[in-house]
Amino acid sequence: MTTPETSLSISDTVRYTERQQVALIRIDNLPVNGLGDTVRRGVADALKRALANSDVKAVVVLGEGKVFCGGADIRQFNTPAATAKPMLRDVNRAIERSTKPVVACIHGVALGGGLELALACHYRIADASAKLGLPEVNLGLVPGGGGTQRLPRLIGVTDAVRLISSGKQVGAKEAASLGLIDEVFEGDREQAAIAFALAQAAQQTAWPVLADKAIAADGLPDFDALRAAVNPKARNAIAQRMAVSSVEAAVQLPFEQGLDKERALFDELVAGTPSKALRHMFFAEKESAKFTGSNAREAARPVRSVGILGAGTMGGGIAMAFANAGIPVVLCEREQAALDRGMALIERNYQISVARGGLTQEGVKTRLARIQTSLDMAAFAEVDLVIEAVFEDMAVKRDVFTQLDRIAKRGAILATNTSRLNINEIAAATQRPEDVIGLHFFSPANVMKLLEVVRGELTSDAVIAGCMQMAVAIGKIPVLVGVCEGFVGNRMLTGYWREAGFLLEEGATVPQIDAAMQAYGFAMGPLAMADLAGMDINWATRKRLAPTRPAHLRYSKVADRICEQGRFGQKTSAGYYRYEAGNRTPIPDPVVEELIAQCAKEAGIERRQVTDEEIVERCVLALVNEGARIVDEGIAQRASDVDVVYVNGYGFPAWRGGPMFYAETLGWKQVRDKIHALHTKHGEHWIPAPWIDKQAQA
């Protein structure tokens, strides 16, 4: 006899169906079934309904669409909806105490609150391709719905603390071997879940409840050592340490008190700026990949094969980035020796990955097989995208593009990896400027995730959209920018380095500036970074721009003087610092401090004690003011794109959310007042960007 089916909407985001005597509670809150307030209420109400019907033998919780559940609705954090009753803790308790077995049927992902919901269920089954994890630390948080208390009870403390403090996801197979899930299924998820749930209901009379399970007292990790082992420079170091403490609470406290402790840690973190900044970055990185141009999606040019010209530092790294993503590459050079050097470097880099355990020899072979080489640009005739990575010289680039125009097929995208040259001028060397675009990869290009996609005046929407999609496909974070001197990232560096130079003349020392900026959170100080990047490159840019520099504007000669001595940074073992052979550790150099004092004297500057606070304020606000100007000019699509560039390309601390988000946390009024004060004191370099005034007024 078949039981008649009941199917109804419990809330906007939860549906309830009775099928074969099993209640199916279906979360339907696309795109990722985030556990917002209506979902929590819907699940709780649906469960009540299932328990009230004596025909129902078991309950299954499952997700609509691509995933089971992507966790709490992050957009609701810090709003009343996030704490509206029932909280996830209440829903989980109701599930756990259900008199009928409850099965979580996981497909796609069960992350964060999604996995916490599943942990409250008596059983978990997962599709073979599902991924599970508690990634809250990536957002500067700890799980807040019982994850740190239930997971150690299920899989043991050591594995639980590892998963929670790393935020790593595991596949279904690994989850099964850890004991995180009870069964891996293939095929129709609803049928698999119904069969599993009915079998449990028929065979058992009591269901496993993690809240009631004791934690084995032996083999516990050393929690102090785990906290001490957290890299203090990690973007989420505070959250990682608190995650360890939260699991420790599971060991030390009864279950309900452990939940209280976990929630207290979560509440502290969710209210703090570092987590807000990391959540800002999470959404900013998703936004930056979106091109808001007309008809972009329909027209996007597909990229299935790539030609790269120049097998130097950048060309080699870019070739690896495509090969790693499974896209075939033709790498072209002007001479065999350069090609051999380039390929040797690529192989060496892959072998380093093998030595570190990140890649197998088989993986290396597969990747290398995707890179063909050539000494003739004719090999680019059939590729969808050509990326030029030859010397940074306009005449060379224009010559290359004239040739590419003749060789590349119709509809191919012609890209340049230039750091600073004008894309429009390069495009004008072709008969098809609408196909020309900048793809500014960062070094090392196989590692760095940032990609500035530089649209020329005439670049077509189809080409832009194709490049944005290609970037995501190869695992990059694209940011669409317009043509200007240095695009977004390098343009902002100009003001940042300018202030560092002025501060040196005014009395700061080289190590003081770097230490102050590192203490603020930068991966590296501005002067050590200049040494790493090579001071000669910026020197050349300054010389190129010298004729356009207004003579009355203050200009620090410190960097030029250092370069005049043949000190270009690490590559010459001397720059702002000196370096010992084979060692990249910067060593303060009295010669440079003397040179700085001399520059100050020539400029008539009376040196004084400069505080670390002033260093941070001037260097960071220089970034903010230029970032605001970039937004004003429409060079970036949105302010958060500037943050994406700075955090992913320039070592700006992610937990401060990038320069624009940091300014917002200071308050735009305060930022405006500070920049106005710097303008009054230091002059024209500090003319406030109109966008900052607008923000302050808003």
Pairing type for strands 183-185 and 123-127 reads: parallel
- Closest C-alpha among 92, 212, 86, 234 to residue 153: 212
Is 311 a binder of ligand NAD (CB under 6 A)? yes
Distance CA 60, CA 101 (A): 8
Is 400 a binder of ligand NAD (CB under 6 A)? yes
Distance CA 145, CA 117 (A): 8
Distance CA 567, CA 584 (A): 15
Which residues face 6 on adjacent strands?
A: 18
Q: Which does 561 bind (CB under 5 to 8 A by kind): ligand COA, ligand NAD, none?
A: none
429 versus 628: smaller Cβ distance to ligand NAD: 429
Half-sphere exposure of 538 (CA within 13 A, CB side): 28
39 versus 309: smaller Cβ distance to ligand NAD: 309
Distance CA 479, CA 642 (A): 8
Neighbours of 227 (CB within 10 A): 17
CB of 609 to ligand NAD, least distance (A): 36
Residue 198, Ramachandran bin (φ over 0: left; ψ between -120 and 50: alpha; else beta): alpha
Is 449 a binder of ligand NAD (CB under 6 A)? no
32 versus 423: smaller Cβ distance to ligand COA: 32
> Considering only residues 564-623, where is the footprint of ligand NAD by CB under 6 A?
none
Residue of minimal Cβ distance to ligand NAD: 312
Which DSSP letter does residue 476 get?
A: -
Binding test (CB under 6 A) with ligand NAD, winner from 98, 148, 419, 556: 419
Using the contact rule CB under 6 A, the part of the chain among 306-314, 499-507, 575-583, 642-650 near ligand NAD is: 306-314
Q: Which amino acid is at 102?
A: V
Is 418 a binder of ligand NAD (CB under 6 A)? yes
Q: Which does 417 bind (CB under 5 to 8 A by kind): ligand NAD, ligand COA, none?
A: ligand NAD
216 versus 375: smaller Cβ distance to ligand NAD: 375
- Closest C-alpha among 335, 316, 623 to residue 492: 623
Sheet order of strands, 183-185 included: 6-11, 14-19, 22-27, 58-63, 102-106, 123-127, 183-185
111 versus 330: smaller Cβ distance to ligand COA: 111
CB of 369 to ligand NAD, least distance (A): 22
273 versus 313: smaller Cβ distance to ligand NAD: 313
Q: Name the residues that contact ligand COA, by CB under 6 A.
A: 31-32, 34, 66-67, 70-75, 109, 111-112, 135-136, 139, 141, 283, 286
46 versus 111: smaller Cβ distance to ligand COA: 111
Half-sphere exposure of 594 (CA within 13 A, CB side): 3
Return the active site residues.
116, 136
400 versus 610: smaller Cβ distance to ligand NAD: 400
CB of 444 to ligand NAD, least distance (A): 8
- Cβ–Cβ < 8 Å for 250, 148: yes
CB of 377 to ligand NAD, least distance (A): 7
Q: Which does 111 bind (CB under 5 to 8 A by kind): ligand COA, ligand NAD, none?
A: ligand COA
Is 417 a binder of ligand NAD (CB under 6 A)? yes
Q: Which does 695 bind (CB under 5 to 8 A by kind): ligand COA, ligand NAD, none?
A: none
Distance CA 503, CA 506 (A): 5
Which residues face 287 on adjacent strands?
A: none
The residues, ordered by sequence, that sit 6+ positions from 319 with a Cβ below 8 Å of its Cβ are 308, 311, 329, 331, 342, 346, 371
- Cβ–Cβ < 8 Å for 377, 407: yes
Q: Which does 390 bind (CB under 5 to 8 A by kind): ligand COA, ligand NAD, none?
A: ligand NAD
Distance CA 343, CA 338 (A): 9
CB of 418 to ligand NAD, least distance (A): 5
CB of 39 to ligand COA, least distance (A): 11
523 versus 605: smaller Cβ distance to ligand NAD: 523
Residue of minimal Cβ distance to ligand COA: 112
Q: Which does 271 bind (CB under 5 to 8 A by kind): ligand NAD, ligand COA, none?
A: none
Is 392 a binder of ligand NAD (CB under 6 A)? yes
112 versus 316: smaller Cβ distance to ligand COA: 112
Distance CA 384, CA 162 (A): 43
Is 283 a binder of ligand NAD (CB under 6 A)? no
283 versus 391: smaller Cβ distance to ligand NAD: 391
> Considering only residues 332-361, where is the footprint of ligand NAD by CB under 6 A?
333-334, 338
The residues, ordered by sequence, that sit 6+ positions from 16 with a Cβ below 8 Å of its Cβ are 6, 7, 8, 9, 10, 23, 24, 25, 26, 46, 49, 50
The residues, ordered by sequence, that sit 6+ positions from 357 with a Cβ below 8 Å of its Cβ are none
Q: How far is CA 343 from CA 103, 169, 346, 399, 590, in A?
A: 53, 34, 5, 25, 41
Pairing type for strands 169-171 and 131-133 reads: antiparallel
Q: Which does 400 bind (CB under 5 to 8 A by kind): ligand COA, ligand NAD, none?
A: ligand NAD
Is 648 a binder of ligand NAD (CB under 6 A)? no
Q: Which amino acid is at 243?
A: A
Q: Which does 146 bind (CB under 5 to 8 A by kind): ligand COA, ligand NAD, none?
A: none
Is 412 a binder of ligand NAD (CB under 6 A)? no
Is 313 a binder of ligand NAD (CB under 6 A)? yes
Binding test (CB under 6 A) with ligand NAD, winner from 17, 273, 424, 443: 443
CB of 367 to ligand NAD, least distance (A): 20
Distance CA 581, CA 572 (A): 10
CB of 182 to ligand COA, least distance (A): 23
Is 321 a binder of ligand NAD (CB under 6 A)? no
Q: Which does 391 bind (CB under 5 to 8 A by kind): ligand NAD, ligand COA, none?
A: ligand NAD
Decide: helix, strand or coil at residue 416: strand
Pairing type for strands 22-27 and 436-441 reads: unpaired
Which residues face 126 on adjacent strands?
A: 106, 184
Q: Which does 392 bind (CB under 5 to 8 A by kind): ligand NAD, ligand COA, none?
A: ligand NAD
Pairing type for strands 329-332 and 306-309 reads: parallel
- Cβ–Cβ < 8 Å for 344, 301: no
Apex CA 287: angle with CA 299 and CA 466, to 5°? 25
Dihedral, CA atoms, 580, 584, 590, 594, nearest 10 degrees? 120
Q: Which does 304 bind (CB under 5 to 8 A by kind): ligand NAD, ligand COA, none?
A: none
CB of 370 to ligand NAD, least distance (A): 20
Is 315 a binder of ligand NAD (CB under 6 A)? yes
Is 215 a binder of ligand NAD (CB under 6 A)? no
Q: What residues make contact with ligand NAD under the rule CB under 6 A?
A: 309-315, 333-334, 338, 389-392, 396, 400, 417-419, 441-443
